[in-house]
C-alpha cells in the first residue's frame, strides 16, 4: 500500500506545541508577548499539518481499508519489544480536522482573553497591570501548549499505552489550568476556589484513570500488544476474549472482553465527566474561560468518547459474548444526558450552564455508542466540539465585557465598593446583544446549534441522527430519555440567551459592557461558521429535500471505517415520527424559554421565576442533587479519617513495639554482659563470640559515640568469624 | 583495556575510601579545600560509572554477562574471596550511587557549616560501602560493605541532624534496627557456607543451597529476608525510616532514600532470589502482600502528615512497596512455570521493581533536596505555615512540580514506567493483590497534590503567616527567595533525568530487561 507522503508528517503533529512548552518555560518566560507568539505559531503549525493529513485522508476514502500505521521499537519488555507510533484512520482524520482548528482558535482567543484579571490588586502587580496582561501570561501559554500536545498525541497514537500517556498529560494540564488562578478566593467560604477545583478534577478523574489502567493492563496481558490495528484486526483474538471468562467476587463469572471494556469505560466516565464521576467538571469552570473551551468542551472531555469510539470493536465483541457492557454504556450515557440537563436548568452562572450542557451532550454520545450508533456518535462528537467551544468562548467574551463594564463603573467613581460582584452571574446581565453584537450573535448561533434548531444548524443533524438510531433500533427507553433531554437542552440554552442578551441590563456593569477585542471575536465568527454548516457533511441521504442537496461524505467515510472494524454501522432509515418528535421538542423548549424569560424580560433584582414554580425541586437542582455533599461524606472524609487512623496506628502500635523490643534488648544486653563477665568468660571464645560482639555493639552504642568503636566491632566480627569457622 | 576492566570496580569502590583518608589528613581549618577536594574526588567514580554504563551497554549487555570481575583470595582459610563483578542490574545502580553522592557533596558544601571535615570524610566513606554492596559477589564481602555503609550514616544523622528532631534517638534506632537484621543475615550466610562450602554467590547459586534440608533453607530464607526487609524498609519494619529521614541532614536523606534503601531490594534480587528460588516461589506471596500493604498503608500515612520531610519519608515506604510487590510477584511466578505468560509477567515485574529502584532514587532524591531548599530558608517544614509560593518562587515551584508529578507516577515522567511495569507484572501473577495496590495510586496523587503542592504553592502568599525567612546563605530576608544557582545545579540534572527517562526509558530499561530475562532464565524459567 502506497500512502500519500503527507502521512509521514503525522508523528510531527504533536511536536511543535511540545517544543513551545519547553521553549516558554525555559527561555521565553519573562517575555510575555514572545511566549504567546511562540505558542500560537506552534499551534498554527500543528493545525496546518493536521489539516493536511485530515484532508488528504478525506480525499482518499479507500484508505479506510488500510489505515496508516507507523511504529518504531520503543520498550524492551521481557522477550518482546513494545512499539510506539502513529496511526491515521477516518476517526483520527476527523479528530485531527476538528482538534487542529479548534486549538488554533482557542490559542488566538487566549491572547485577547488573558488580560489582567479583575480579582488581582493592580498595586501588587504593577508591571502586569501596566501591560494589561495576566501576571502569569507566559505560564498560561506554556500550559495550553503542553495540553495541545497531549490532545494531538492522543489522537494520533496507534496504541492504547501511548493514548493513556497523552491522556494523563492532558489530566495534568487540566489540573494546572483549572487552578491557574490559584490565589483567587471568594467571600463565601463554601464557594469552591480554583485551587480546590483543580485538585477535585485531578483526583476524580484519577479514580477513572486507574481503572482504565487496569483494563489496559489486562488487555495487554491477553493480547501481548496494545496496537489498535493488531488487536482489532484479529477477530479470532476478540472472539476468544469474549468467550473466556473470569470469576470475580460479587460479580460472578464475566467474560474478559466484558471486564476489560468495563474498566476502560470507567476511564471514559471519569474523563468525560459522566455520572457518577461528573462532579469535577462544573467546578472546573473556575479555570480561565479559554481553558473551559479547550479542555472542558472541545478536546479533553471528548477524549473519553474518542476512547470508546476507538475501542468499539472490543465493546462490540463483549456484547456478542453476552456481556451487558454496551447496555451499561447506553444507560450511563442516556441517564447522564437527562440528569445533567435538569441541573443546567437551575444554574445562574453562565459557564456552569454550559458545563452541565457539556456533560449532557457527552451523555448523548455515550448513549449513541451504547446502542451501536457509532457513526452518529463520532459526528456529534466533532460538531459538538465546534459549537460548544464557540459557546464557551462567547461566554468568556461576555464575562470579560461585564468585568470591564464593572471596572468602568468603578473608575468613574459613581459607586463605592458595594461588595463582591459576580461577573458570571446571568442575573447580573441582560440586554448585552446591543452592547456586544458579535459575541451575542455568535452565541445565539452556537446556542441554536446546541438546541438542535431544525435544519439550519449543525447540532440538529448530528443529534437527530442519534435519536433516529435509537428509534430505528427500538431502544425506546434511550430514545425518550434523550428526547426529554433535548427539550430541556433547548429550554436551558434559550433561558441563558434571553437572560444574557435580551431585555434590558440588570446591572450597571452590564450597561457599560464593551464588545471584546478582535483577537477574541474573530475566532467566534470562524467557529460559528462550523456551528451552522458543519452538519452538512452528515445529512442522511434519504432526508426529505435537504438530503438531496447536502452531502453526507463524512458519515459515509465513518461508515466505511466502521465496517472495516467489523462494526454494524448501517445508517438508520429515515422515519418521520422520531424526526418530528425531536423537532417539536426542540422548538417547544425554545418557545417555553421565550415565554418565561423572553416575553417579559426579568427585571433587576427579581428572582428566577422558575424558583417560584418548582419550589423545593429548584433548590435540589440548584444544589446539583447534593452530590458534592454526598461524596464529601462517603469518600473525602473517610479517606482523611483513615489516613489519621493509620498514622496513629503507626506511631502508637508498630513503632511502640519496636521501642519495646529495643528496651528489652538493652536490658538483655546488660544482663548478659554481667552474666558472661562473671561466669563464663572462657566460653566467649568458642561460639558465644557472636553474642558478645552483638552485645558489645549494643552496649557501646548506648554508652559512647566514637567512630573507632564501631569500626573495631566490625573488625571483631570478621576476626570472630575466622575463629569460628575452622572450629566447625 | 583488560586491566581497566578488571580493576574498574575496585577503583570505584575504594576511591571514595582513599578520598576520606586524604580528607582525614587535611587540616581541619581548610574547609574550603576539603569541600572542593571531596566534590572533585567524587567526580572520578561518577565518570568511571558513566564509562562503565556505556562500556557495558556496548560490550556485555546482551545476555546480561557478569562483567568486570576481579577475584582473589582474601581469607583463604575459610574460602572468603574478594570477588566483585557487575551486570545489568548493578551497573545502573552504581551510576545512581555515584550521581547522588556527587550531588550530595556538592549541595552539602554550601549548607554544612559545622564539623565540615568529619562530614565530608564520612560521606565519602559511605559511598564506598554502597558501591561495595552493589559489586560484591562474595557473601562475606557483601556483609562487610553492608555494615560499612551503616556507620557513616549513623554519624551523619546523629551529629548533623536537626536538634529539634531527636537525631540521637533516630540514629541509634536506624543503627540498631539494621544491625539486628544483619545479625540474622550473617547467621544465614554461615548457613550457606555450611551447606555449599563456599561464600561465593555465583557458586552457591549454581550448587543450590540446603537442597536436602528444606527446614534450614526456609530458616535461611527468612533470616536473609528480615535483614533485607528492614533495610528496604518493608511494612511492618519501616518505623525507623521516618525518624531517620526527618532527622538526617538533607544530603543524608537523599543518600538514605536514594541508595541505602535500594541495598535491601538489591539484596533480595541478587542474593535471595538466586540462592533460594524454591523458597521464593513458596513465600513470594507474603513478600507481595507486604508490598501491597506497604503501598496502601504508606500512602495513607503520608496523607496524614503535616511535616514535609516526614511526608516524603512515608511516601518512600509506599514507593518501596511497589518494589516489594514486583519482587514478590517474581517469586510467585517461579512457582507457575507451566502457566502461559507467567514468564513475561515475571520479567515485567522484575523490570518494574528494578526501575522503581532507580526512578525512586532520582525522584525522591530530588524531593529531599527540595525539602532542603525550603528548610534552609524557612527553618521549618510545617506545611501549615506556607502557601502561595508558586507566584513568589516560580523556579522552585516548577522543579517541585516535576519531582512531585514524577513521584505520583504521571506518564511522561520517570516514575510512571516503574509503576506501569510493576503492575503489568503483578496483574499477570497476583491480580488480587495488585488490585489493592492500585488504591495506592489514587492516594499518592492525593497526598502529593493536596498536602505538598497545595499547602506550599497555592493560595495567596501571605508574608505575615511566617516571618523567619532567611536566604539560603543565612542572611535575613523578607520572604522566600528563589533557588540559588547551586541548588539549580544540584536539582536540574535529576529533573532532566526524570523527563528523559519518562519519555524514553529504553536506555535504562535495556539494562534491567536483559538482567531480568537472563536471571529468570538462569532459574530455569
Q: What is the pLDDT of residues A382-411, one digit of tens each?
A: 999 999 999 999 999 999 888 888 888 877
Between A and B, how many residue pairs show a Cβ–Cβ distance under 8 A?
181
Quick one: pLDDT at residue A2? Answer: 78
Secondary structure (DSSP) of B322-342: HHHHHHHHHHHHHTTTTSTTH
Residues of chain B in contact with residue A644, where contact means CB-CB under 8 angstroms, are 304
Residues of chain A in contact with residue B340, where contact means CB-CB under 8 angstroms, are none
Residue A92 has pLDDT above 90, yes or no: yes
Q: Which among B239, B441, B506 has CB closest to A75?
A: B506
**3-class DSSP assignment, residue B154:** helix
Secondary structure (DSSP) of B22-75: HHHHS-TT-HHHHHHHHHHHHHHHHHHHHHHHHHHHHHTTTTT--EEEEEEEEE
B383-427 pLDDT per residue, tens: 988 988 988 899 999 999 999 999 999 999 999 999 999 999 999
Higher pLDDT, B189 or A248: B189
Quick one: pLDDT at residue B494? Answer: 95
Residues of chain A in contact with residue B348, where contact means CB-CB under 8 angstroms, are 77-78
Residue B28 has pLDDT above 80, yes or no: yes
- Tell me what ipTM this predicted complex has: 0.94
Residues 6 or more apart from A518 whose CB is under 8 A from it? A112
Quick one: pLDDT at residue B286? Answer: 94
Residues of chain A in contact with residue B514, where contact means CB-CB under 8 angstroms, are 76
**Domain membership flag for residue B124:** no
**Domain membership flag for residue B114:** no
- Within A412-475, residue ranges assigned H as helices are 432-435, 437-450, 458-472
Compute the half-sphere exposure of residue A453: CA atoms within 13 Å on the CB side of its CA.
Answer: 18
CA distances from A227 to A2, A68, A72, A86, A310 (A): 21, 12, 12, 10, 11
Spatial contact of B368 and B244, defined as CB atoms under 8 Å apart: no
CB contact under 8 A, A182 and B180: no
- What is the sign, positive or negative, of the torsion defined by CA atoms of A57, A61, A62, A66? positive
CA distance to partner chain A, nearest, from residue B131 (Å)? 18
Spatial contact of B296 and B326, defined as CB atoms under 8 Å apart: no
Query: Does B88 reach chain A within 8 Å, measured CB to CB?
Result: no
Higher pLDDT, A692 or A569: A569
Looking at every residue in chain A, the average pLDDT score rounds to 86
Residue B90 has pLDDT above 80, yes or no: yes
To the nearest 10°, the Cα dihedral for A450, A454, A456, A459? Answer: 30
Residues of chain B in contact with residue A185, where contact means CB-CB under 8 angstroms, are 459-460
Interfacial A residues in 56-85 facing B (CB < 8 Å): 74-80
Query: Does B479 reach chain A within 8 Å, measured CB to CB?
Result: no
**Domain membership flag for residue B119:** no
Query: Buried b vs exposed e over B306-336: b needs ≥16 C-beta within 10 Å?
Result: ebbbbbbbbbbbbbbbbbbbbbbbbbbbbbb
CA distances from A240 to B14, B338, B427 (A): 58, 21, 20
Mean pLDDT lowest among A560-569, B136-145, B441-450, B452-461: A560-569
As a whole-number percent, the residues of chain B with pLDDT over 90 amount to 68
Domain containing B491 equals: 278-525
pLDDT-based confidence at A710, cuts 50/70/90? low
Cα separation, A500 vs A497, in Å, equals 5
Quick one: pLDDT at residue B289? Answer: 96
Q: Could you report how far apart the first and last alpha carbons of chain B are, in Å?
A: 35
A511-569 pLDDT per residue, tens: 888 888 888 889 999 999 988 888 888 787 777 777 767 778 888 888 888 888 888 88
Residue A712 has pLDDT above 60, yes or no: no
Query: Buried b vs exposed e over B488-506: b needs ≥16 C-beta within 10 Å?
Result: bebbeebbebbeebbeebb
**Domain membership flag for residue B256:** no
Place of cell 518512600: B316
CA of B183: which chain A residue's CA is closest? A694
As a whole-number percent, the residues of chain B with pLDDT over 70 amount to 100
Place of cell 516548577: B398
Higher pLDDT, B378 or A707: B378
pLDDT-based confidence at A623, cuts 50/70/90? confident
Q: For the purposes of burial, counting CB atoms within 10 Å of the CB of B188, is it exposed (0-12), middle (13-18) or buried (19 or more)? A: buried
CA distance to partner chain B, nearest, from residue A165 (Å)? 5
CA distance to partner chain A, nearest, from residue B357 (Å)? 17
Residues 6 or more apart from A219 whose CB is under 8 A from it? A160, A226, A231, A260, A264, A314
Residue A227 C-alpha cell reads as 496496537
Residue A584 has pLDDT above 70, yes or no: yes
Query: Does A183 reach chain B within 8 Å, measured CB to CB?
Result: yes
**Domain membership flag for residue B190:** no
Residues of chain B in contact with residue A183, where contact means CB-CB under 8 angstroms, are 388, 391, 458-461
Q: What is the CA radius of gyration of chain B?
A: 22
Average pLDDT over every residue of B3-22: 92
Residue A711 has pLDDT above 70, yes or no: no
- Within A250-373, residue ranges assigned H as helices are 256-271, 280-283, 289-293, 300-320, 325-345, 350-370
Q: Which among B303, B351, B449 has CB closest to A202?
A: B449
Picking from A138, A509, A140, the residue whose alpha carbon sits closest to that of residue A288 is A140
Interfacial B residues in 199-218 facing A (CB < 8 Å): none
Residue B305 has pLDDT above 80, yes or no: yes
Our CA angle for A35, A41, A42, nearest 5°, is: 90
Quick one: pLDDT at residue A698? Answer: 53
Looking at every residue in chain B, the average pLDDT score rounds to 91
Cα separation, A322 vs A383, in Å, equals 33
CA distance to partner chain B, nearest, from residue A206 (Å)? 6
What is the longest distance spanned by two Cα atoms in chain A?
A: 113
Place of cell 501559554: A141
Quick one: pLDDT at residue A726? Answer: 43
CB contact under 8 A, A218 and B427: yes
A451-493 pLDDT per residue, tens: 888 888 888 888 888 998 899 888 899 999 999 999 999 999 9
DSSP state of A625: G
Probe site for chain A from B196, B305, B389, B420 (most A CB atoms < 10 A): B420
Q: Could you report how far apart the first and last alpha carbons of chain A are, in Å?
A: 76
Residues of chain A in contact with residue B177, where contact means CB-CB under 8 angstroms, are 658
**Domain membership flag for residue B208:** no
Place of cell 489519621: A644
Mean pLDDT lowest among A290-299, A347-356, B484-493: A290-299
Spatial contact of A582 and A483, defined as CB atoms under 8 Å apart: yes
What is the longest distance spanned by two Cα atoms in chain B?
A: 71
To the nearest 10°, the Cα dihedral for A368, A370, A373, A375? Answer: 80
Spatial contact of A381 and A355, defined as CB atoms under 8 Å apart: no
Quick one: pLDDT at residue A404? Answer: 85
Q: Collect contacts of A238-243 with beta carbons under 8 A, ≥24 apart.
A: A238/A313, A238/A314, A238/A317, A239/A317, A241/A314, A241/A317, A241/A318, A241/A321, A242/A317, A242/A318, A242/A320, A242/A321, A242/A322, A242/A323, A243/A321
Neighbour count for residue A415 (Cβ, 10 Å): 10
CA distance to partner chain A, nearest, from residue B482 (Å)? 15
Quick one: pLDDT at residue A684? Answer: 47
Q: How far is CA A711 from the centre of its chain?
A: 58
Q: Which among B148, B172, B420 has CB closest to A701?
A: B172
Tell which phi-psi region holds residue A573, choosing left (phi > 0), alpha (psi between -120 and 50) or beta: beta
Picking from A526, A250, A509, A501, the residue whose alpha carbon sits closest to that of residue A387 is A526
pLDDT-based confidence at A704, cuts 50/70/90? very low
**Domain membership flag for residue B128:** no
Compute the half-sphere exposure of residue A681: CA atoms within 13 Å on the CB side of its CA.
Answer: 2
Query: Does A206 reach chain B within 8 Å, measured CB to CB?
Result: yes
CB contact under 8 A, B347 and A224: no
Quick one: pLDDT at residue A129? Answer: 83
Place of cell 552483638: A694
Residue A582 has pLDDT above 50, yes or no: yes
How many folded domains does chain B comprise? Answer: 1
Cis, bond preceding A458 (omega within 30 deg of 0): no
CB contact under 8 A, A725 and B190: yes
A30-45 pLDDT per residue, tens: 888 999 999 999 999 9
**Domain membership flag for residue B499:** yes
Cis, bond preceding B78 (omega within 30 deg of 0): no
CA distances from B93 to B58, B96, B258, B356 (A): 18, 5, 10, 11
Residues of chain A in contact with residue B23, where contact means CB-CB under 8 angstroms, are none
Give the phi and the psi of residue B382 in degrees, each rounded to 5: -70, 115
Quick one: pLDDT at residue A677? Answer: 65
Residues of chain B in contact with residue A728, where contact means CB-CB under 8 angstroms, are 194
Quick one: pLDDT at residue A509? Answer: 83
Q: Which among B173, B427, B458 has CB closest to A221?
A: B427
Query: Does A705 reach chain B within 8 Å, measured CB to CB?
Result: yes
Probe site for chain B from A22, A27, A74, A77 (most B CB atoms < 10 A): A77
Quick one: pLDDT at residue A117? Answer: 79
CB contact under 8 A, A183 and B304: no
CA distance to partner chain B, nearest, from residue A515 (Å)? 31
Interfacial B residues in 151-190 facing A (CB < 8 Å): 151, 154-155, 158, 172-173, 175-177, 179-180, 183, 186, 190
Cα separation, A373 vs A464, in Å, equals 12
Amino acid at each position: 500500500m502506497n500512502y500519500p507522503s503527507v502521512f509521514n508528517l503525522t508523528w510531527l503533529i504533536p511536536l511543535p506545541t511540545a517544543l513551545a512548552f519547553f521553549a516558554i518555560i525555559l527561555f521565553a518566560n519573562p517575555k510575555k508577548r514572545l511566549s504567546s507568539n511562540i505558542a500560537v505559531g506552534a499551534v498554527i503549525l500543528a493545525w496546518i499539518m493536521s489539516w493536511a493529513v485530515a484532508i488528504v485522508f478525506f480525499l482518499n476514502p479507500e484508505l479506510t481499508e488500510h489505515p496508516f500505521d507507523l511504529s518504531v521499537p520503543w520498550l524492551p519488555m521481557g522477550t518482546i519489544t513494545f512499539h510506539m507510533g502513529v496511526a491515521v484512520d477516518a476517526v483520527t482524520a476527523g479528530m485531527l480536522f476538528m482538534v487542529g482548528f479548534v486549538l488554533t482558535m482557542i490559542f488566538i482567543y487566549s491572547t485577547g482573553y488573558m488580560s489582567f484579571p479583575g480579582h488581582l490588586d493592580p498595586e501588587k502587580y504593577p508591571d502586569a497591570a501596566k501591560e494589561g496582561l495576566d501576571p502569569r501570561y507566559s505560564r498560561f501559554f506554556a500550559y495550553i501548549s503542553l495540553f495541545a500536545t497531549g490532545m494531538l498525541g492522543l489522537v494520533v497514537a496507534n496504541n492504547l499505552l501511548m493514548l493513556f500517556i497523552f491522556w494523563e498529560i492532558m489530566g495534568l494540564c487540566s489540573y494546572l489550568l483549572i487552578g491557574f488562578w490559584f490565589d483567587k478566593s471568594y467571600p463565601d467560604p463554601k464557594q469552591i476556589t480554583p485551587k480546590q477545583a483543580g485538585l477535585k478534577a485531578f483526583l476524580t478523574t484519577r479514580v477513572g484513570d486507574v481503572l482504565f489502567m487496569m483494563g489496559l493492563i489486562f488487555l495487554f496481558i491477553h493480547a501481548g500488544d496494545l496496537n489498535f490495528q493488531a488487536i482489532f484486526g484479529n477477530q479470532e483474538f476478540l472472539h476468544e476474549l469474549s468467550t473466556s471468562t473470569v470469576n470475580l467476587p460479587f460479580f460472578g463469572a464475566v467474560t474478559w472482553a466484558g471486564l476489560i471494556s468495563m474498566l476502560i469505560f470507567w476511564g471514559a466516565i471519569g474523563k468525560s465527566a459522566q455520572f457518577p464521576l461528573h462532579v469535577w467538571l462544573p467546578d472546573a469552570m473556575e479555570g480561565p474561560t479559554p481553558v473551559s473551551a479547550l479542555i472542558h468542551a472541545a478536546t479533553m472531555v471528548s477524549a473519553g468518547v474518542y476512547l470508546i469510539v476507538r475501542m468499539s470493536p472490543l465493546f462490540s465483541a463483549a456484547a456478542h459474548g453476552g456481556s451487558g457492557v454496551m447496555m451499561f454504556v447506553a444507560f450511563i450515557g442516556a441517564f447522564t444526558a437527562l440528569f445533567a440537563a435538569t441541573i443546567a436548568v437551575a444554574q445562574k452562572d453562565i459557564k456552569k450552564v454550559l458545563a452541565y450542557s457539556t456533560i449532557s451532550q457527552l451523555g448523548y454520545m455515550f448513549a449513541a455508542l451504547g446502542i451501536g450508533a457509532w457513526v452518529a456518535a463520532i459526528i456529534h462528537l466533532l460538531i459538538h466540539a465546534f459549537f460548544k467551544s464557540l459557546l464557551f468562548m462567547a461566554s468568556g467574551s461576555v464575562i470579560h465585557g461585564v468585568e470591564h463594564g464593572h471596572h468602568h463603573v468603578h473608575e468613574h467613581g459613581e459607586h463605592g465598593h458595594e461588595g463582591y460582584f459576580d461577573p458570571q452571574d446571568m442575573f447580573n446581565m441582560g440586554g448585552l446583544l446591543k452592547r456586544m453584537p458579535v459575541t451575542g450573535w455568535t452565541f445565539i448561533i452556537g446556542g441554536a446549534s446546541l438546541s438542535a434548531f431544525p435544519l439550519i444548524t449543525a447540532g440538529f443533524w448530528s443529534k437527530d441522527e442519534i435519536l433516529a438510531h435509537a428509534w430505528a433500533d427500538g431502544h425506546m427507553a434511550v430514545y425518550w430519555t434523550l428526547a426529554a433531554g433535548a427539550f430541556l437542552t433547548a429550554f436551558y440554552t434559550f433561558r441563558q440567551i434571553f437572560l444574557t442578551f435580551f431585555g434590558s441590563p440588570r446591572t450597571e456593569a452590564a450597561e457599560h459592557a464593551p464588545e471584546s477585542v478582535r483577537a477574541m471575536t474573530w475566532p467566534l465568527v470562524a467557529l460559528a461558521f462550523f456551528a451552522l454548516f458543519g452538519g452538512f457533511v452528515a445529512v442522511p441521504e434519504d432526508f426529505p429535500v435537504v438530503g438531496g442537496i447536502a452531502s453526507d461524505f463524512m458519515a459515509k467515510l465513518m461508515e466505511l471505517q466502521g465496517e472495516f472494524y467489523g462494526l454494524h454501522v448501517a445508517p438508520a432509515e429515515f422515519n418521520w415520527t422520531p424526526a418530528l418528535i425531536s423537532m417539536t421538542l426542540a422548538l417547544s423548549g425554545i418557545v417555553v424559554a421565550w415565554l418565561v424569560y423572553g416575553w417579559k424580560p426579568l427585571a433587576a433584582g427579581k428572582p428566577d421565576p422558575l424558583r417560584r414554580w418548582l419550589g423545593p425541586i429548584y433548590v435540589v437542582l440548584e444544589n446539583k442533587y447534593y452530590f458534592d455533599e454526598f461524596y464529601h461524606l462517603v469518600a473525602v472524609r473517610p479517606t482523611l479519617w483513615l489516613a489519621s487512623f493509620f498514622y496513629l496506628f503507626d506511631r502508637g502500635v508498630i513503632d511502640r513495639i519496636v521501642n519495646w523490643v529495643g528496651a528489652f534488648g538493652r536490658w538483655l544486653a546488660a544482663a548478659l554482659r554481667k552474666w558472661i563477665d562473671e561466669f563464663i568468660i572462657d566460653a566467649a571464645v568458642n561460639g558465644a563470640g557472636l553474642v558478645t560482639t552483638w552485645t558489645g555493639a549494643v552496649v557501646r552504642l548506648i554508652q559512647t559515640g566514637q567512630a573507632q568503636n564501631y569500626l573495631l566491632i566490625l573488625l571483631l566480627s570478621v576476626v570472630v568469624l575466622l575463629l569460628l569457622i575452622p572450629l566447625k | 583495556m583488560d586491566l581497566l576492566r578488571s580493576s574498574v570496580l575496585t577503583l570505584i569502590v575504594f576511591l571514595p575510601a582513599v578520598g576520606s583518608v586524604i580528607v582525614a589528613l587535611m587540616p581541619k581549618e581548610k574547609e574550603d579545600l576539603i569541600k572542593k577536594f571531596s566534590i572533585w574526588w567524587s567526580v572520578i567514580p561518577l565518570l568511571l560509572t558513566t564509562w562503565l554504563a556505556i562500556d557495558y551497554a556496548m560490550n556485555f549487555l546482551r545476555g546480561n554477562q557478569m562483567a568486570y570481575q576481579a577475584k582473589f583470595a582474601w581469607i583463604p582459610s575459610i574460602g572468603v574471596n574478594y570477588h566483585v563483578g557487575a551486570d545489568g542490574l548493578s551497573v545502573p545502580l552504581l551510576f545512581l550511587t555515584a550521581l547522588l553522592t556527587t550531588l550530595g557533596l556538592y549541595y552539602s558544601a554550601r549548607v554544612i557549616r559545622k564539623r565540615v571535615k568529619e562530614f565530608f570524610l564520612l560521606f565519602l566513606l559511605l559511598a564506598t560501602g554502597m558501591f561495595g554492596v552493589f559489586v560484591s559477589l562474595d557473601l562475606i564481602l557483601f556483609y562487610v560493605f553492608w555494615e560499612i555503609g551503616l556507620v557513616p550514616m549513623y554519624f551523619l544523622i546523629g551529629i548533623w541532624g536537626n536538634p529539634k528532631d531527636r537525631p540521637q534517638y533516630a540514629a541509634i534506632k536506624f543503627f540498631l534496627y539494621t544491625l539486628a537484621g544483619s545479625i540474622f543475615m550473617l547467621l544465614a550466610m554461615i548457613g550457606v557456607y555450611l551447606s555449599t562450602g563456599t561464600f561465593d554467590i555465583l557458586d552457591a547459586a549454581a550448587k543450590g543451597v540446603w537442597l536436602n534440608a528444606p527446614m534450614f533453607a526456609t530458616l535461611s530464607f527468612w533470616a536473609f529476608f528480615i535483614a533485607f526487609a528492614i533495610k528496604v524498609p518493608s511494612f511492618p519494619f519501616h518505623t525507623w525510616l521516618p525518624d531517620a529521614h526527618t532527622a538526617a541532614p538533607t544530603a543524608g536523606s537523599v543518600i538514605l532514600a536514594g541508595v541505602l534503601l535500594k541495598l535491601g531490594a538489591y539484596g533480595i534480587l541478587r542474593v535471595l532470589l538466586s540462592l533460594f528460588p524454591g523458597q521464593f516461589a513458596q513465600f513470594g506471596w507474603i513478600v507481595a502482600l507486604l508490598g501491597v500493604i506497604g503501598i496502601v498503608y504508606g500512602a495513607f500515612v503520608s496523607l496524614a502528615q503535616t511535616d514535609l520531610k516526614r511526608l516524603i519519608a512515608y511516601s518512600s515506604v509506599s514507593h518501596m512497596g511497589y518494589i516489594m510487590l514486583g519482587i514478590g510477584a517474581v517469586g510467585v511466578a517461579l512457582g507457575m512455570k507451566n502457566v502461559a505468560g507467567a514468564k513475561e509477567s515475571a520479567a515485567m515485574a522484575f523490570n518494574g521493581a528494578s526501575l522503581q529502584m532507580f526512578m525512586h532514587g532520582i525522584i525522591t532524591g530530588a524531593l529531599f533536596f527540595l525539602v532542603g531548599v525550603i528548610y534552609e530558608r524557612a527553618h521549618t517544614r510545617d506545611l501549615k505555615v506556607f502557601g502561595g509560593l508558586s507566584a513568589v518562587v516560580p523556579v522552585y515551584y516548577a522543579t517541585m512540580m516535576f519531582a512531585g508529578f514524577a513521584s505520583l507516577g504521571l506518564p511522561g515522567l520517570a516514575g510512571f514506567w516503574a509503576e506501569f511495569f510493576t503492575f503489568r507484572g503483578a496483574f499477570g501473577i497476583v491480580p488480587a493483590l495488585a488490585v489493592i495496590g492500585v488504591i495506592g495510586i489514587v492516594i499518592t496523587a492525593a497526598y502529593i497534590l493536596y498536602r505538598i503542592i497545595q499547602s506550599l504553592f497555592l493560595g495567596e502568599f501571605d508574608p505575615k503567616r511566617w516571618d523567619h525567612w532567611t536566604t539560603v546563605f543565612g542572611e535575613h530576608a523578607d520572604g522566600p527567595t528563589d533557588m540559588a544557582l547551586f541548588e539549580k545545579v544540584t536539582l536540574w540534572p535529576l529533573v532532566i533525568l526524570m523527563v528523559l527517562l519518562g519519555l524514553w526509558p529504553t536506555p535504562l530499561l535495556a539494562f534491567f530487561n536483559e538482567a531480568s530475562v537472563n536471571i529468570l532464565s538462569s532459574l530455569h524459567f
